Structure formats: structure tokens, C-alpha cells
Structure 1
Amino acid sequence: MFSTLLRPKMKQHASRFRFELLVIGGGITGAGIALDAVTRGMSVLLVDMQDFAEGTSSRSTKLIHGGLRYLKQMELKIVAETGRERKVVYENAPHVTEPERMLLPFHKGGTFGPFMTSAGLAVYDRLAGVEKVERRTMLSPEETLRLEPLLKRDGLLGGGHYVEYRTDDARLTIEVLKKAAEKGALCLNHCRAEELLYDKEGKVAGAFLRDRLDGSRIRVDADHVINAAGPWVDEVRSLDAFDNDKHLKLSKGSHIVISQSRFPLRQAVYFDSPDGRMIFAIPRDGKAYVGTTDTFYDGDPEDVAATDEDVEYLLNAANGMFPGLLLSRADVESTWAGVRPLIHEEGKDPSEISRKDEIWESESGLLTMAGGKLTGYRKMAEDAVDRIVRRSKNRAYGPCVTKALRLSGGEFGDPGELDAFIEGKAKEAELYGLTRKEGREIAAFYGTNADLVFRFAHTAGDGAGLSAAVRGRVLYAIHEEMAATPADFLVRRTGWLFFDAGRVREEGKKITDYMTELLFLSPEEKARMSEELDHAISEAAGQ
């Protein structure tokens, strides 16, 4: 069950059944835990007070990477573990993860020099177990400029060329959750845990949930509860009768998106900003995006946005490394910002705090998963579920199987099959009344779920000023991906708000009308969701 139309039935089931595990938080960490647990034989309920992936897991730099910055900080275990996990994520979901050659230019006086870059990338390759064909190549200044002519030439000493993996963070989270639901997990978005329940021994044993869409309240019972609420981890812990002294420090990261007509970036680049921070500039779908900032954040994680100062910082960084562009605020089509939940370390700047993950346990038995990185979500989940298994002495659970478990849409024998699959589906799309271009886009986006999207599109037809392909995507998002609001669809299910802002402005109202009809929304509900979408559009535009 992973359909918005089945929410009443799902809530009824949740209130009548005792689960072995309740996961609070539907970002990538919670999604990974739910999938690991359900595939070992546990009954699992996952809830998120917002949409799935609405927090940090849709607002990252959208890279599955080992993190050279952690090598610089000598966090070798993180580099090794996340480096190995990159390939696992890619092989299990090639339709949302792809290899991305990264260029690390080095200039006179910069953070990295030729020797440091070569040695660092060699260690990186070794720790991460990088295959021979993907290992680093060192380049001369001329070779570096051939790869990316926009780079600053003054003081250029050369570059390092190595492989990272680009992803769609929200889509990755959704595909993990769809696989968890397929295996039997019950997943509810827009449901807030507002009170924890305890048994006679004072151990946490469930929670009261508030459905933020209709206001209803239900009780859910569970043997184990794990708090994977990301930036809201401390908020969930505040519900616990027993607490500990560890806490999070939030770090904000902002990004800007510019059309490649103004920023014709050929090659993903990892470069020094004027203040010594490392910044990414990455081409994607006719756009180039630049990020990220790294500053402490004390505001509401539900209302985080890129400020004028954030945008100015990133524009200055881009203009410093690509001096011929002369980019200005008028060139920024959209922005996004998110907060990273870091484990507090006294006296350290945001970029210096470790990205390691930790599991805390309170006296009540509430487990809290904190810290970590998008890349390492699967291993984090394995560690968390291992801990629950060790607690459950009277029950026999299977071993972790997620390392070789294909995610929803990623059911390929080999990731190399994807390109041929896309071309084959492009031809098949014509049988459903779609163009080859539409078929190619759908197949690349949804992977092995493309046929179902095709069928929805064929059934939907044209209407409401929307193409059959868009209507098919909306139907699929509602029936198969639990999209409950226009913002769910336009931000987390498609990413259009960030990478096709013009389309959102043009079709957002039509999509809202269409979803209102499909979901039988009242005028009041439609007005509230329209307001939510308008706010998201304004926020992304930096207004």
C-alpha cells in the first residue's frame, strides 16, 4: 500500500495492529531503516510529519560521494565506508544515480596543490575501492581547460579528474520507501508523532499521531521506536520522559540554479571559494547548480530558505572560478536550502564538525539516529536495525539483505542495461500515444516502473491544459508514490520546482486543479494546498 487514496485504510490498519518497529522520520535515514527492518522480517510502521524527504533529503547537493573534504579532515573511516557505499547505491538504483566525472582544478595559492591533489585522490581511490577505469587522472593546465574552458586561467596549475555519483536525493528516498512498502512496511506522510507511549516498565511502546491533512489523531503501538527525524531529532527526543545530554547542531546549506544558456558548464567542478571552502558546480538537465554554503542555523527547519547573503556568496564563488560569466542575481532561476543535522562539537565551525553517524538510546529505550550522510544511508540503517535485532532476543530475524537489493524502478540485472532500456521504452511509448521524447524522459526518470506511468498516461489522456505525459505522472505519483499535495508532486516527486521553475509557474495551477479533482479535495483544502505551493515557489525564487 503506497497510495494517497488508501490513507484512511492505512491509518485504520496502523491503529489496530501492534508493530515491531515504529520509525519516526521519512527522510533517507528513516526510509533505509524501514527497508532494512521489513526485509529482515519485522512489521514496520514509518511516519513523517511532512512529506517524505521534505526536509534534508530533498535539499542536499544531490551527490552520492565519498567526500574529499573528509579526507582533508583525516576522517578515513567515513571516506572508506561512504566510498564503498556509492557503488552499492548506484547498482541498486541506476535510474536515480549515475557516475559523474568531477574536475578538481588547482591554482597557485589554493587549498590543493598538484602533489596534494594527486596523493589525496590516490588515497581516496584506495580507501573507496574505486575500480581501475574510474580512478583519478592528473591533468595539465591545458588538459584541464579543454575539459572546462570557463575555468579561471590565472594561476591554473592543473587538475584532478575523478568519479563521484550524482543523484536525485528525494527520488532516491521515494524509491527506497516504495520498495519498503512493497515488502510490507506501512508508510504514512503528513503524520506527526506528538506524544510517546510507555509500557508498565516505563519503556517506550508507541506514539499518538496527528494527521496534518485532516486533523485526525490515532494511537499506534510498537515494540521498538526509532527516532530518525533528521533536523527534528531533538524535537522528538523532547517528547521522551528520559533524555540525555547529547544534542544536534544544525548547519544550513544553500544552492542556486542557473540556466546553461548563461552558465554553459560542460563539466562538474569541485573548487575553492574565496574563503577557502570547497564548492560544487554541477551541470544537470540544461541547468547548472552551485552549492553549498555551510553556516550554523538556529531557525525553524520547516522554514529554511536561501537568503540574499547565501545567493551573493555563491555568485561570488562562481564568478571567482569562472570569471568570464559575470553572473548576477538576475541569472538565478531558483534556489534551495536545507539543514544538515550534525552532532554538536563545542568550538567547531559547521564545516569542521564530523558527519559521522551515531545511535543514542535513552533509558526509555527510544533509539535516536543522528548525523551521517546521504551516501551512507544504507549502512547506517543496517547498524540501527542490528541494534534492534540484538535487543529482540526472543525473535529470530533474517540477516541484512539491502546491499544487493534493487530499489523500486531499479530492477536491472546490471546498471549498464539502463541506456538500452531507455531507448527501447522510447519506442514503446508511441503505443501509448506518447512521443519518443516523452517516453525517453519517463523511462530515464522512473526506470523499470516506466510501463505503469505509460499506462496511467494512456488512461488519463489530455485535458485541463496538461499533456497526457504530465497527467500520467500525476496519477502515478498519487496512486504509487503517496503524493498528497501539489507541492509533494512538484518538489519531491519530480524536482521541477528546482530545475524547471518556469514549468511550475506555467502548470502549477493546472496541476493543483487536477489533483483537487483526483483527491476529492474541498475548496478549503485546495486553498490551503495552493497557498503551500505559492509559498514554495516564492521560497525557491528567493522572495
Structure 2
Amino acid sequence: MRLLSAFHRSELLDHLSGEEYDLLIIGGGATGSGVALDAASRGLKTALVEKQDFAAGTSSKSTKLIHGGLRYLKQFEIALVREVGRERAIVRRLAPHLVVPEKMLLPLIKGGTYGKLATSVGLMVYDVLAGVESADQRVMLSKEETLQKEPLLRQDLLEGAGYYAEYRTDDARLTLEVLKSAVKYGADCINYVEVTDFLYRENEKGEKVIAGAICHDHILGNTFQIWAKKVVSAAGPWADELRQKNESLQGKRLHLTKGVHIVLPYEKMPIRQSIYFDVPDGRMIFAIPRGKVTYVGTTDTDYFGDKNHPRTSIQDVTYLLGGVNNIFPSLDLKVKDVVSSWAGLRPLIHEEGKSASELSRKDEIFVSPTGLITIAGGKLTGYRKMAERTVDMVLKKLGRKVRKTRTHTISLCGGEFSGAQAVEAYKEDVLEVLRPHGLGPYYADYLVSNYGKQTDEILETFQENIDEQLEPEWAMVRAELDFAIHREMAHTLVDFFSRRTGRLYFDIESVKKWKTAVFEEMKKQFEWDEKRCKQELHWLEMAITEATEFTEETSAHPAPPMS
């Protein structure tokens, strides 16, 4: 089995520069990783480069739901609802530890987005389109039944609720497992490698066609070339920049919108299940409990700033808190209660005259005159179908027989479970290992939800660390770190605390507690010099600042009025 190890970097770079690939993919988010798995599993010689870390952009900044998109039913995007609804069942089967059933409460309020009849019919249609199993199909609740489910809801506005099923995930972990599965099928994938220009050749007709890319490695500092018969851009918010390098930025363009989520300690917002609720400006937002926290989002505003560092503004925070306090008035949440946040960009297809919230989430494929294939738009839930359509096109362009995709049958790394009951049984087994060392159910759930069956390898390293007389919690953090470096190409402190473990958002106190120890361990393993040490500490502090401190922004949402 190939390994995605940070210590194999030099050999991998040599390999990338010495081969001609059938397909080069630019972008290591959910879509690019999905294309890599689909292409490699259909027999294409595949390479993938990502200019930042894997999943560093949109694919770690979503609402972290694999959902059928109820709101798109309201916009009459029937085909989109049907496709993503069915896709979520497939992804659930491929990674049952990562895609977890989440009951969703949709409160019906006076003057709200959805009335009782419309909600009942809409959720029924949603169940049919999405192929929801009978046990998870929608139930309509009275006001009294709704308050039994969630006593914190505002009673004077409440009229009842819809109760239906969605699926919660970790978007960055899902992306990593798709990518690692692609590597198992032979794909060569690397992070921190940026495409600076394209390579071209003349075809038999004398036409200039794309033939690869000139790349710069931000870790080792060298520039090299990757030759490929076809090139796919799955660069998300950066797709138009690559089209510009290719001199093909014409016609349809991206429309970037920003989505912000805020994180609160669970004791500050102790809701009993996920809730999808109205805010006074007519939009709807989610509140989702997860471990030690509850997170709330999202906003949806046009974005024109730095694509590498979108920030949460104080206006974003007050907008979301205002929406929460309107429906949960007893909570009386303040800005100081927010412990973390994230701001992500949606790379949507521009439609003249439509606001950010009205833009379609459909994906589209653009092909330039020189052959650059760009996949843009779409949703996390639809990554597999987007990849399938893209690889179908690549095979046609290569003049090869279009073999059907296999990705609906390929369990993702760590996802080798027969179903949800097997996941729960495995958590109990993990807990039995942890309990003698003072680590309880939270850690068992955290490990299995993040790593699935790969937890076995982490526990082996954990036991070795315990044998070295390490304190149990540090023994576990160091075991996770070893796994992140040797199995998931983590190169930086932020890679580990953000995309590999989610601690930056969901357990930020643990980042503050362990950042020095993790830094010292990575410094030792990678033999960082003084300059790199200063950079690493600066990058981590910048990531913590971006998550916990909020900017001023003149074009953000106004705070919703308290009605």
C-alpha cells in the first residue's frame, strides 16, 4: 500500500517530475480528491497537486453536513435535491463513522419561511426524492411536542415543527479519506505544490493544447514540471485564476460568497438536537451540537477579499447571534461567548441579477480551447457525482472507452464497517482500551468519528507512548500527530490542529494546551531550522487569531432586529 507520508516528499517530487500522467488534477479539496479516486480506480495514471494543505479551502469550511438540501426544494431545484439526497446515502455507506445520522428539528414560527402544510408536503417530497428510509422519514410535531424536543425555543412564535433526518460529517476528514483512498489506487498526491503556469504542445492538427503544468513546491522550495495528457482544475475559489493563466477566462465566471460559522461552548447553547431555524431577515441557519460545542451558521454574503484568508467579521458574529437570540431568547448570547469560528468561500457560478443566497449550487464543467477542464460550483454532498462526470469527460477526451465509475462501491479509508451498529460496537471496544488510562467516552467517540478503523493504528502508537511513561492525554495527542505526519502528509502545526484533528474549531482549548508540545515534537521530527520554527509559530498564532478575533467589515449583514 502506498503511504501519504510527509517523509516521502522528496521521492514523490522526483516521481511526479519524471512521469507522464494520463491526468493531472489541480486542487486537493473534496472535488479534486473525488476526481483523483474516480480516475485512479478506473485505471488512469493520476496525479494531484494542492497549493495549500489538502482541504485547506472550502472543503474544511462548510456547515459539515452531508445533506439533501431542503432549501433547494424551495428554489425548485428538483434534480439537485434528488441527486444529493441519494448521494448522501451512498457516502454514508462508504464511511459510516464519518457520516452520522443527525435528527434535524425545523421549528415552524408565525410569519416564518415555511408554513405547516408547505413543510409537511415539502419534507414528504424531500423524503421521496432523497430516498430516505422509512425510519428516518419526516414527522410533523405540534407546538407541545416541539417544546418537549427543545424547551429552549421561543414559545410565543412557535406553532410546531418538522422533524427529519440529515447527516453530519467532518468535511476535512472526509476529503482526506477520499484522497487517501485515491492513493491506495495508485494516484500520486501532494500538498503545498502550486501551479504557476501551464505546459503546452502542438497536436497533430497544429493546435496548441495543454500538456501539463509548471509547479513550485512551497516546502522544499524547488520548481519542476508535471507532464499530463489531460489537466483538470478543481481549484474551487481559485478556478478563475487558473483559467486566466490559461488565457481562457471568458463567458461564465465564478461568484464567490462567504459563509461564516461561529462556535459556542455547549453549556452556552445546550440544544438537544440539530435545529434549522428562521432568522428575521428571511434566511434560515443551522445550530448543530458537536461534542463539547454547538456551532451556528451560516451567513451568505458576496465576497471580494483575500481568497487565502477569508475572515469572520464582527458583523457576521452579531448577525448569527441575533438570529439565535431571536429564537432562543433565554440564552442571551454575547460576542464574548463565541470561542471559535470559521469563514469559508463558496465558488458558485455567477448569474446576473441574483443575490448570494439565490445563486444555484449546481456544478458545471468548462473546457478551454487548449483543453483545460474546469469543474466548478457544486456542494460537498455531490463530490462523487461531480467527479464521475468529470472523469467521464476526461476519458472521452482521451479517446478511451468510458468505463463506469466504481466509487459508489469503494469504502473510504477507515470506513470498513458493516453499518452504524458496527461503528457503535467499535467505539465500545476503543473505550475499553482508553478507560484504564482515564480517557472516557468523549475520546472514544472523537477517535472513531475522525479515523474509523484507523483508530487501531493510533491506539498501537498510544500504547507505545504509555509504555514510555507519557501522560495519557499527551500520549494520545502524540499518537495522532504521528499518524497525521506518516499517513496524511501533515507538514505544519496548522495542518495538525485544523484539518487533521478539527481541534482549532471544536476544542480550541486543547490547541492552547498542547501547541508547545506538538511544536517541539514536529521540530524534532522534521529538524526545523530557526527560520522555520518562527514561521510555524507565527502561522499557528495567525490561525488562532483568525478563528477567535473578528474584523470590522462594512459590507456584511446587518444584525437582525430582535422581534
The two structures have a TM-score, normalised by structure 2, of 0.94
Shift of the alpha carbon at 1:199?
1.1
Cα distance in structure 2, aligned partners of 1:350 and 1:250: 8
Q: Deviations over 1:424-480 (max 9, x none)?
A: 23324579x785654554234311111111122233445599611110000000000
Cα distance in structure 2, aligned partners of 1:427 and 1:43: 43
* Aligned residue among 413, 416, 435 for 1:408: 413
Cα distance in structure 1, aligned partners of 2:444 and 2:288: 25
Structure 1 equivalent of residue 557 of structure 2: none
Cα distance, 1:97–1:440 mapped onto 2, change above 3 Å: closer
Letter aligned with residue 194 of structure 1: T
Shift of the alpha carbon at 1:512?
1.4
Cα distance in structure 1, aligned partners of 2:318 and 2:445: 37
Structure 2 equivalent of residue 216 of structure 1: 222
Structure 1 equivalent of residue 450 of structure 2: 445
Structure 1 equivalent of residue 296 of structure 2: 290
Structure 1 equivalent of residue 463 of structure 2: 458
Matches within 5 A, 1:45-444: 45-201=47-203, 202-393=208-399, 395-396=400-401, 398-428=403-433, 435=439, 437=441, 438-439=443-444, 441-444=446-449
Aligned 8 A contact 1:466 1:507 in 2? no
In the alignment, structure 2 segments of 5+ residues that lack a partner are 551-563
Letter aligned with residue 421 of structure 1: Y
Aligned 8 A contact 1:41 1:398 in 2? no
Cα distance in structure 2, aligned partners of 1:267 and 1:465: 31
Shift of the alpha carbon at 1:297?
0.1
Cα distance in structure 2, aligned partners of 1:5 and 1:151: 52
Letter aligned with residue 483 of structure 1: A
Cα distance, 1:331–1:363 mapped onto 2, change above 3 Å: same
Structure 1 equivalent of residue 493 of structure 2: 486
Shift of the alpha carbon at 1:303?
1.0
Q: In the alignment, does 2:536 pair up with 1:529?
A: yes
Aligned 8 A contact 1:42 1:397 in 2? no
Q: Deviations over 1:216-265 (max 9, x none)?
A: 11110001100000010011111104443221010000011111111111
Shift of the alpha carbon at 1:308?
0.4
Structure 1 equivalent of residue 21 of structure 2: 19
Aligned 8 A contact 1:40 1:397 in 2? no
Cα distance, 1:275–1:390 mapped onto 2, change above 3 Å: same
Cα distance in structure 1, aligned partners of 2:291 and 2:327: 22
Cα distance in structure 1, aligned partners of 2:6 and 2:487: 8
Cα distance in structure 1, aligned partners of 2:506 and 2:133: 32
Cα distance in structure 1, aligned partners of 2:258 and 2:109: 28
Shift of the alpha carbon at 1:506?
1.7
Stretch of structure 1 that moved more, 252-261 or 500-509: 500-509
Stretch of structure 1 that moved more, 358-367 or 88-97: 88-97
Cα distance in structure 2, aligned partners of 1:535 and 1:541: 10
Letter aligned with residue 506 of structure 2: F
Stretch of structure 1 that moved more, 209-218 or 235-244: 235-244
Cα distance in structure 1, aligned partners of 2:60 and 2:224: 28
Cα distance in structure 2, aligned partners of 1:116 and 1:273: 18
Structure 2 equivalent of residue 508 of structure 1: 515
Aligned 8 A contact 1:456 1:472 in 2? yes
Shift of the alpha carbon at 1:399?
2.4
Q: Deviations over 1:159-218 (max 9, x none)?
A: 000000000000000010111111111111011001100112311110011111222111
Cα distance in structure 1, aligned partners of 2:157 and 2:396: 56
Cα distance in structure 2, aligned partners of 1:92 and 1:522: 42
Cα distance in structure 2, aligned partners of 1:319 and 1:151: 10
Aligned 8 A contact 1:192 1:212 in 2? yes
Letter aligned with residue 129 of structure 1: G
Aligned 8 A contact 1:464 1:510 in 2? no
Shift of the alpha carbon at 1:414?
2.7
Cα distance in structure 1, aligned partners of 2:434 and 2:335: 40
Q: Deviations over 1:332-358 (max 9, x none)?
A: 011111000000001100010000000
Cα distance in structure 1, aligned partners of 2:176 and 2:456: 18
Cα distance in structure 2, aligned partners of 1:496 and 1:444: 13
SS across alignment from 1:298: coil
Cα distance in structure 1, aligned partners of 2:187 and 2:262: 36
SS across alignment from 1:309: helix
Structure 1 equivalent of residue 561 of structure 2: none
Q: Deviations over 1:256-313 (max 9, x none)?
A: 1111111111111101111011100111102111100000000111110110000000
* Aligned residue among 475, 492, 499 for 1:468: 475
Shift of the alpha carbon at 1:390?
1.3
Shift of the alpha carbon at 1:157?
1.0
SS across alignment from 1:177: helix
Letter aligned with residue 410 of structure 1: G
Aligned 8 A contact 1:141 1:157 in 2? yes
Query: How many correspondences in the alignment?
Result: 541
Aligned 8 A contact 1:466 1:510 in 2? no
SS across alignment from 2:294: strand
Cα distance in structure 1, aligned partners of 2:159 and 2:527: 62
SS across alignment from 2:381: coil
Stretch of structure 1 that moved more, 384-393 or 288-297: 384-393
Cα distance in structure 1, aligned partners of 2:520 and 2:209: 46
Letter aligned with residue 495 of structure 1: G
Cα distance in structure 2, aligned partners of 1:77 and 1:161: 23
Letter aligned with residue 34 of structure 1: A
Cα distance, 1:462–1:72 mapped onto 2, change above 3 Å: farther
Q: Deviations over 1:459-504 (max 9, x none)?
A: 3445599611110000000000111101000000000000111111
Cα distance in structure 1, aligned partners of 2:194 and 2:519: 24
Cα distance in structure 2, aligned partners of 1:296 and 1:32: 27
Cα distance in structure 2, aligned partners of 1:533 and 1:55: 16
